[in-house]
Structure 1
């Protein structure tokens, strides 16, 4: 019985190793073309072992996206924690999250426009991504949970859209987010802009 805790740690290590190998493949290949055989080979395990941890490719894809979403959220939270103004924190959080996705070859490949981007499908269906986005919105200001949930769903769609169809440059995207998204997600009575006049 004393050794039981080791088996869960081994499972965690094995899962991370498989997901790390998948990430390397996603960084250099079209995500839709990365199969279970490829991932097993890259992870140095058999297909049977791979299927013991992930019952199919969709489950593995989802696990990878969720792991990376948690990592990105932690990184983002640390980067914006010193920004006191909720509207500026929102704007910086949105622009920074897109930058972090784009700087990661493995994550940016999920939003390639060659086909129907798989990242858009998973982002729309992922309860984890919705929950993280809702948590971020609640950190800006308390609100009705249903309203927060709807805003989070909409915000995920906006960011997904910009990842698939980027603005002209970072400044253009920031202006779009500031003008159209920030006032909807984090309204203010004064109607003042984030930019100094």
Structure 2
């Protein structure tokens, strides 16, 4: 099942979700490591990898957003109350915005840095800088915004993960399984039948 239906996500949505999530979360330890290493050759490589994966997240997120609007969104299970639905919706909005804003602020750091080190995306494409003012203060500003947003979105992502695990192990609904198995036609109905039997 490539496309979503009213009960489950399709394979393409699932792949977008997990690939972007893994890269996005992996960027945090990579970013932490690159600013703390004293090996300048290694630091240069880590910066280039960090920037490359950031642009990859930006591109994949744009494609994912197009796919999202072109597909049906599975309905929420009946186990979710109004407050929980509102909280989940807010978390999704924050995470979606983060997938665009954080890479762009990282791009702004490279663009405003007085060092003007080119960005070699996976050593294949040179990414041009944004038309921003170049100064130490501008670089420091964008660096702070980038870091605060990254840690904030990581905290939201952890809450998102814990909520999914809560639904899977405590409420035993289909919130997590529908993002794991694209062939599951009616996860909640199947679960109910198993409980009854």
Query: Would you call these one fold, judging by a TM-score over 0.5?
Result: no
Higher relative contact order (CA 8 A, sep 6+): 2
Q: Which has the higher helix share?
A: 1
Look at both structures and tell me which one has the larger radius of gyration over its CA atoms: 2
TM-score (norm. length: structure 2): 0.29
